[in-house]
């Protein structure tokens, strides 16, 4: 089995890029979304000066469960991935079964942050998109899909999103095998071609 990590800041288009790859791949491939692994309740010390939770810090995630699940998938077994409600900022009781496939895509803002997880990955990519575009995309998403107010999204951006990106997210570029810009169609096509090649290798027993 091969695992491919897709990293990038909030609003960089990770999910869209992942979907583009999936559509061009001959066989079904499984996807693990890091957003599903937010902690049910964030630590008290992970709050801003205004008392708001910092969801853009690495410690906001359940790393123990995430590492375990990726290792289980890598070994060829299914997992019960958690589901997260972004309107309530809480993990749901129900889970989603993610079955192993010849190639697994793992996408998230910190998918290249943890050394142990990087060792599980065979290919790593980083989506580099300018800050203003990422902010606009996040603004539309949070207001339209997550029921957030305009002011709360702007405040969160300046309090946590922007500083956390500069401190923790952008440095992950050094661990990427390749960087993807704003035009993702060509890059998605190239990666999909590579995925098809890897799947054929697994079929032939070469991996």
175: in domain = yes
Report yes or no on whether pTM surpasses 0.75.
Answer: yes
Domain total of the chain: 1
206: in domain = no
22: in domain = yes
Identify the CA nearest to 33 among candidates 106, 130, 89. Answer: 106
Identify the CA nearest to 13 among candidates 204, 146, 187. Answer: 187
pLDDT tens readout for residues 57-103: 999 999 999 999 999 999 999 999 999 998 888 899 999 999 999 99
78: in domain = yes
70: in domain = yes
Rounded Cα–Cα distance for residues 195 and 189 (Å): 10
Identify the domain containing residue 72 by its residue range.
Answer: 2-201
* DSSP collapsed to 3 states, 83-143: EEECCCCEEEEEEEEECCCCEEEEEECCCCCCHHHHHHCCEEEEECCCHHHHHHHHHHHHH
Question: Which CATH number does the domain housing residue 109 bear?
Answer: 3.40.50.300
pLDDT tens readout for residues 101-149: 999 999 999 999 999 999 999 999 999 988 888 988 889 888 888 888 8
């Amino acid at each position: 089995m091969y695992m491919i990590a897709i990293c990038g800041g909030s609003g960089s288009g990770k999910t869209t890029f992942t979907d583009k790859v999936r559509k061009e791949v001959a066989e079904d491939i499984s996807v693990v979304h890091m957003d599903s692994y937010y902690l049910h309740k964030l630590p008290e010390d992970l709050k801003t000066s205004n008392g708001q939770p910092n969801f853009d810090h690495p410690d906001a995630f359940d790393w123990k469960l995430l590492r375990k699940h990726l290792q289980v998938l890598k070994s060829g077994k299914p997992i019960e991935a958690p589901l997260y409600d972004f309107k309530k900022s809480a993990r749901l009781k129900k889970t989603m079964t993610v079955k192993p496939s010849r190639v697994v895509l793992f996408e998230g803002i910190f998918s290249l942050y943890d050394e142990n997880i990087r060792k599980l990955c065979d290919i790593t990519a980083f989506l580099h998109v300018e800050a203003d575009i990422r902010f606009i995309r996040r603004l539309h998403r949070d207001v339209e899909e997550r029921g957030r107010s305009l002011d709360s999204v702007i405040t969160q951006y300046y309090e946590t999103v922007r500083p956390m990106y500069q401190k923790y997210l952008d440095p992950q570029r050094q661990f990427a095998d390749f960087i993807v810009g704003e035009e993702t169609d060509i890059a998605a096509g190239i990666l999909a071609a590579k995925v098809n090649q890897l799947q054929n290798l697994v079929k032939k027993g070469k991996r």
